[in-house]
Amino acid sequence: MLIALSLLSALPLALAAPTCTLKTSSYAAPAPTPSSVSTPTNPSSGNTTTNGMISMAWYADWHTNFTVSDISWAGYTHMAFFTAQPSSSGTVEVLISDPTMVDQFTAAAKTNNVKSLLTIGGWDGSLYWSSSVATAQNRSTFANSIAQYAQAHGFDGLDFDWEYPAKSGVGCNTMSPQDSDNFLSFMQEMRQIAPNLTLSAATSIVPWVGSTGSPLTDVSKYASSLDWIEVMNYDVYGDFSSVTGPNSPLNDTCASSTDQQGSAVSAIAAWTKAGFPANKLSTAVTGNSLNLYTTFDKTNIPIGDSWSPPSTTADVCGNPPVGNGNTGIYNFWALIEGGFITQNGTVASGMVGMFDECSQTPFVYNPSTSVLVSYDDPQSFTAKGQLIKQAGLAGFAMYEAGGDYKGMLVQAINSAMA
């Protein structure tokens, strides 16, 4: 299970195939400019909704037809710019073709009364997390570089997306058994250097791995250093699995033991047992779906949507595409565009729909192509919102802002949390 998680629960990773293409060294990284701008806000002073819950999404910076001006801010309290990355020289860098995009993002967030976060890492962007925090000197260099960048560009907070401490992640991450200890020291230093920035972290569905290779049993010190974590409860089943299953299950304790691969319910139990308070946990949900052939053949994954094209080039580690290179990934809007579901979220005619009560997951099946899709819709987002409220969690974080269709998913989860 841990092995599977290290590969899979990294949604920003599985989805990040397009990132590889864009984030090559041919793009000039904007140099962090010396700061003199922006008065930092109070710690944890995110624009909370009336009931104080976090409604967050990640904004992926590489879609040519989903730019900052396309973000619909309504319904969100926090929006994270995805991503900045630790560099081999131990500083933070943002690799984008248009450096003005970052300032457009933070300015638009302010205008819309939404708090802006800078996400650091991601599946493709965690190669140098470990080396950047490995020594006191490196932590200091890295933390100061981030603080300077965040202040220069007017961010309200930072979101650490290290996938994953003490794991090789995409396959070629720097790593050390001391990663999680160093991560904590880094968070504590970051708090001192930037006391007015909100600090969060995106995590797996089980706690960070300690020096023994097992999940830590006490993460309370991490909780004191962070405002909240986003537990990435997706990619539980995917093209790495041996059978088809729900991509982002709400529950799995109702499933047979072999099918208990993790869920929002199991994640809440694992993190709270290790001392992370429920009110600092937010559930990361996804507007992405996964298409699989029912006669499940890993070498024959269906093609994804236009935002999730087949991999044709080597990944960040230099490894060639796996299998046929297809991703099988569809954003929620693409399920509508692709004729699986209608504009109101119902199953389209000619398709077969079902709703799995245990995992609270809709599936849609195209009999003419034998493609089965595990996805999320307003009904499953409503169930997740109810769980968030009932379990006393901090809120939700959605990957990614551009995946929704006319705000249907976000409206559903917000209404259920209210």
Binding site for ligand NAG (CB under 6 A): 40, 42, 47-48, 65-66, 89-90, 113, 131, 134-135, 138, 195-196, 251, 253-254, 265, 306, 337, 342, 344, 346, 387
Residue with smaller CB distance to ligand NAG, 78 or 280? 78
Residue with smaller CB distance to ligand NAG, 48 or 415? 48
Residue with smaller CB distance to ligand NAG, 100 or 113? 113
Residue with smaller CB distance to ligand NAG, 7 or 331? 331
Q: How far is the CB of 395 from ligand NAG (least distance, A)?
A: 13
Q: How far is the CB of 180 from ligand NAG (least distance, A)?
A: 15
Place of tokens 């624009």: 47
Residue 329, SS3 per DSSP: strand
Residue with smaller CB distance to ligand NAG, 7 or 382? 382
Residues 45 and 39: beta-carbon distance below 8 Å: no
Residues 362 and 382: beta-carbon distance below 8 Å: no
CA trace torsion 288, 289, 290, 292 (10° rounding): -160
Q: How far is the CB of 125 from ligand NAG (least distance, A)?
A: 16
Q: How far is the CB of 43 from ligand NAG (least distance, A)?
A: 8
Q: How far is the CB of 87 from ligand NAG (least distance, A)?
A: 9
Give the Cα separation of 241 and 120 in Å (integer): 28
DSSP state of 405: S
What Cα–Cα distance (Å) separates residue 380 from each residue in 27, 246, 339? 39, 11, 19
What Cα–Cα distance (Å) separates residue 366 from each residue in 11, 182, 307, 344, 347? 25, 48, 21, 18, 10
Question: How many C-beta neighbours within 10 Å does residue 240 have?
Answer: 13
Place of tokens 């000039």: 28
Kindly state the helix (H) or strand (E) to which residue 103 belongs, with its residue range. Answer: helix 100-111
| H-type alpha helices, 153-226 | 179-193, 220-225
Residue with smaller CB distance to ligand NAG, 113 or 300? 113
Q: How far is the CB of 52 from ligand NAG (least distance, A)?
A: 9
Residue with smaller CB distance to ligand NAG, 323 or 407? 407
Residue with smaller CB distance to ligand NAG, 255 or 317? 255
Residues 8 and 245: beta-carbon distance below 8 Å: no
Q: How far is the CB of 49 from ligand NAG (least distance, A)?
A: 7
Question: How many C-beta neighbours within 10 Å does residue 357 have?
Answer: 10
Residue with smaller CB distance to ligand NAG, 314 or 418? 418
Give the Cα separation of 208 and 223 in Å (integer): 12
What Cα–Cα distance (Å) separates residue 120 from each residue in 41, 85, 253? 20, 5, 33
Q: How far is the CB of 135 from ligand NAG (least distance, A)?
A: 5
Q: How far is the CB of 248 from ligand NAG (least distance, A)?
A: 14
Q: How far is the CB of 40 from ligand NAG (least distance, A)?
A: 5
What Cα–Cα distance (Å) separates residue 178 from each residue in 167, 174, 211, 332? 11, 12, 6, 39
Residue with smaller CB distance to ligand NAG, 195 or 392? 195
